[in-house]
C-alpha cells in the first residue's frame, strides 16, 4: 500500500477493486459510488480496503482473490455462498472481533470448502454455531490447510480432530480451545501424518482433556513449539513431569497450564 494508507480489519488481497460496489453483508453488493480505496498490494496483486464501518468490497468475487480478512464485517452464510468464484482463496479470517459470531454456520463453511480447495488458513474463532459438519468439509476438500482456528466454536467435538488428523497432512497450527474436544480427539489428531510438522496447539479451557492429551502431543509431535493447555481442570501435575522428561531445553517457546 502507498504511504499513509491504513488498512481496516476488512481487507482483500490478491484480486483487484472494481470501480464501484462495496459491502459484503448477506451477499448484497451495493452499486458504484460507495466509499473505499484500492491500493497496490504486495506481490503484484491489488488490495481493497473499505472505509471504517464498511464491509468488504464487491470485488472480492474476482477469481484472483487470495486473502479475505472479514473480522469486523457483518457476514453470514448467505454471503459466504458468493465466494464460489474465489477458487484461489488461501486465507480466510472470520474471527469475531467482539463476542460470538452467530451468523456463520456449517452451511457457509461447507460452501467455502467446496469451492476453495487451495485454502491454507481458516480462522474461525468464536463462530459459535459452527459444528463438526463444517470442519469435516474443510478437512476433506482443503487438504492444504496449514492453520485452522476453531477456538470458542462450542459445537466442535472429537469428530473434527479425527477428520483433520486423517486428511490434513500439512497442518502446523491448530486451535481448538474452549471446545468439547476430549483426549480421544487429540490422540487422533497427533496420530495422523501432520504430527511430524505440528508446531502449535492451543487447547486451553477444554474441560474434557486430561494428562493423556498432553502426553500424546509431547510424544508424537517432535516440532511442537507452542502448547497451551491452561484452564483444563482435569490436567494434573503429571503433565509438568512429562514436560520435563520429554522436552529438551529451550525447545518450547511457549507453554501454559493452570495449577489446580
Per-residue pLDDT tens over the stretch 201-231: 999 999 999 999 999 999 999 999 999 999 9
Its sign, for the CA torsion 123, 126, 129, 135, is: positive
Task: Pick the closest to residue 168 from 183, 182, 152, 188 (CA basis).
Answer: 188
Alpha carbons 102 and 232: distance in angstroms, whole number: 25
Question: How far is residue 45's CA from residue 75's CA, in Å, rounded to a whole number?
Answer: 24
Across all residues in the chain, what is the average pLDDT?
81
Asked if 190 and 220 touch (Cβ cutoff 8 Å), the reply is yes
Percent of the chain whose pLDDT exceeds 90: 63
Q: Which of 61, 117, 47, 121 minimizes the C-alpha distance to 91?
A: 121
What is each CA distance from 49 to 52, 68, 99, in whole angstroms? 9, 11, 23
pLDDT at residue 259 greater than cutoff 70: yes
pTM comes to 0.80
Q: Which three cell numbers stand for residue 27?
A: 451477499
> Which is nearest to 66 in space by CA: 105, 92, 39, 37?
92
Cα–Cα distance between 194 and 180 in angstroms, integer?
A: 21
Strand order of the β-sheet with 173-175 is: 37-40, 46-49, 10-15, 67-70, 91-93, 121-123, 147-149, 173-175, 200-202, 226-228, 254-256
CA separation for the pair 211, 202 (Å, rounded): 15
Above 90 in pLDDT, residue 64?
Answer: no
Flag whether pLDDT at 39 surpasses 50: no
Does an H or E element contain 227, and which?
Answer: strand 226-228
Among 25-34, 84-93, 136-145, the range with the most confident prediction by mean pLDDT is 136-145
Cβ neighbours for 85, distance < 8 A, ≥ 6 positions apart: 61, 62, 63, 115
Amino acid at each position: 500500500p502507498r504511504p499513509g494508507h491504513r488498512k481496516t480489519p476488512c481487507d482483500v488481497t490478491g484480486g483487484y477493486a472494481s470501480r464501484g460496489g462495496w459491502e459484503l453483508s448477506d451477499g448484497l453488493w451495493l452499486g458504484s459510488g460507495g466509499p473505499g480505496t484500492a491500493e497496490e498490494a504486495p506481490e503484484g496483486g491489488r488490495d481493497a480496503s473499505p472505509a471504517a464501518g464498511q464491509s468488504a468490497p464487491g470485488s472480492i468475487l474476482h477469481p484472483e482473490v487470495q486473502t479475505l480478512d472479514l473480522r469486523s464485517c457483518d457476514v453470514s452464510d448467505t454471503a459466504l455462498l458468493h465466494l464460489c468464484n474465489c477458487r484461489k482463496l488461501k486465507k480466510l479470517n472470520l474471527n469475531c472481533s467482539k463476542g460470538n459470531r452467530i451468523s456463520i454456520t456449517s452451511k457457509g463453511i461447507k460452501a467455502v470448502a467446496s469451492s476453495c480447495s487451495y485454502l491454507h488458513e481458516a480462522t474461525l474463532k468464536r463462530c459459535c454455531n459452527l459444528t463438526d459438519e463444517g470442519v469435516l468439509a474443510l478437512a476433506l476438500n482443503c487438504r492444504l490447510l496449514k492453520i485452522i482456528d476453531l477456538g470458542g466454536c462450542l459445537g466442535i467435538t472429537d469428530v473434527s480432530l479425527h477428520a483433520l488428523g486423517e486428511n490434513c497432512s500439512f497442518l502446523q497450527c491448530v486451535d481448538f480451545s474452549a471446545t468439547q474436544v476430549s483426549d480421544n480427539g487429540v490422540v487422533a489428531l497427533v496420530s495422523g501424518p501432520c504430527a511430524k510438522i505440528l508446531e502449535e496447539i492451543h487447547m486451553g479451557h477444554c474441560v474434557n482433556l486430561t494428562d493423556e492429551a498432553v502426553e500424546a502431543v509431547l510424544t508424537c509431535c517432535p516440532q511442537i513449539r507452542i502448547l497451551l493447555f491452561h484452564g483444563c481442570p482435569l490436567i494434573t501435575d503429571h503433565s509438568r513431569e512429562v514436560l520435563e522428561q520429554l522436552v529438551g531445553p529451550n525447545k518450547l517457546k511457549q507453554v501454559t497450564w493452570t495449577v489446580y
